[in-house]
Amino acid sequence: MEILKPKLSVRNLCKSYDGKVVFENLSFDLMEGEFLSILGPSGCGKTTLLRILIGLEKADSGEILKNGANISSLPSSQRGMGIVFQNYALFPNMTVLQNVQYALTLRKDTKKQAKEIALRTLEQVGLTDQKNKKPAQLSGGQQQRVAIARTLATNPDIILLDEPISALDVTNREIMKAELKALQKKFHATMLFITHDQEEAFFLSDRIMVMNNGTIEQMDTPQTIYQNPSNDYVSTFVVEQLDKKYQDLLRYTGRSGHHE
């Protein structure tokens, strides 16, 4: 995968709640076609950042640029981003097909083709045979795929994923990791992935942004972070944790930490 230019640029973003700084002067680039993971513990500002990027919250200051244009003041619907939440947020009274086509029916440009687009997307993610089922009839992994299909159907420029597989059991997590990587390749998608799980980040990412207390501790490829942690925090939070789980980590980073 050839990375060409920044798709999203965050410049000097600041956010505080009741006098408590969440992050200050946060800056980074998400490249075209990249899978970038933001890795950090609970409370480090990851989800707040995601909500600001998509327009669900406002930053105190700073800029968000997409393809060079400032989108900081645009409403969520005009930012060209899709989000997949941890809890899937599917409509329980709707079928799989209805869930995927719902957002399309609200937009003038896709209203007439909503069902056709939804069916095509379900086929692409391997859910055609589940289209008439309600969410409660699906496994957790299938529900997550419906949530991802719903986002893909709207053809966003950038897909934001907020801990999307942490609620799944171990088997489904492994399946979804492989599927996410395959879907990114298939759709040539630009993805920003939020996680507190080191293994998820290392398996999926082209680059990883390690956060702590609203600060970027290191941002680089998985191999570089593993082999050359920038400070004690990265060494402890990332490298040592990975070594505890897997002695063969380098096989993972060798396979997933480069552009294909």
- Summarised one tens digit per residue, pLDDT across range 64-97 is 999 999 999 999 989 999 998 877 789 999 999 9
Distance from the Cα of residue 212 to its chain's centroid: 18
For residue 107, pLDDT over 90 is answered with no
Task: Give per-residue burial for 18-46: e unless 16+ CB within 10 Å, then b.
Answer: eeeebbbebebbbbbbbbbbbbbeeebbb
Q: What is the pLDDT of residue 249?
A: 45
Q: What is the pLDDT of residue 129?
A: 95
Model pTM score: 0.86
In one-letter notation, the amino acid at residue 88 is Y
For residue 20, pLDDT over 60 is answered with yes
Mean predicted lDDT score pLDDT of the chain: 89
In one-letter notation, the amino acid at residue 100 is V
Structural domains of the chain, ranges and CATH numbers in brackets: 1-80+158-166+189-260 (3.40.50.300), 81-155 (no CATH)
Strand partners, 21: 16
- Per residue in 24-66, pLDDT (tens digit) is 999 999 999 999 999 999 888 898 999 999 999 999 999 999 9
124-155-75 Cα angle (round to 5): 150
Largest Cα–Cα distance of the chain, in whole Å?
A: 55
- Per residue in 165-209, pLDDT (tens digit) is 887 888 888 888 888 888 888 888 899 999 999 999 999 999 999
How far CA 37 is from CA of 27, 62, 115, 162, 234, in Å, comes to 15, 21, 32, 10, 15
User: What secondary structure does DSSP assign to 29-54, as a single string?
Assistant: EEETT-EEEEE--TTSSHHHHHHHHH
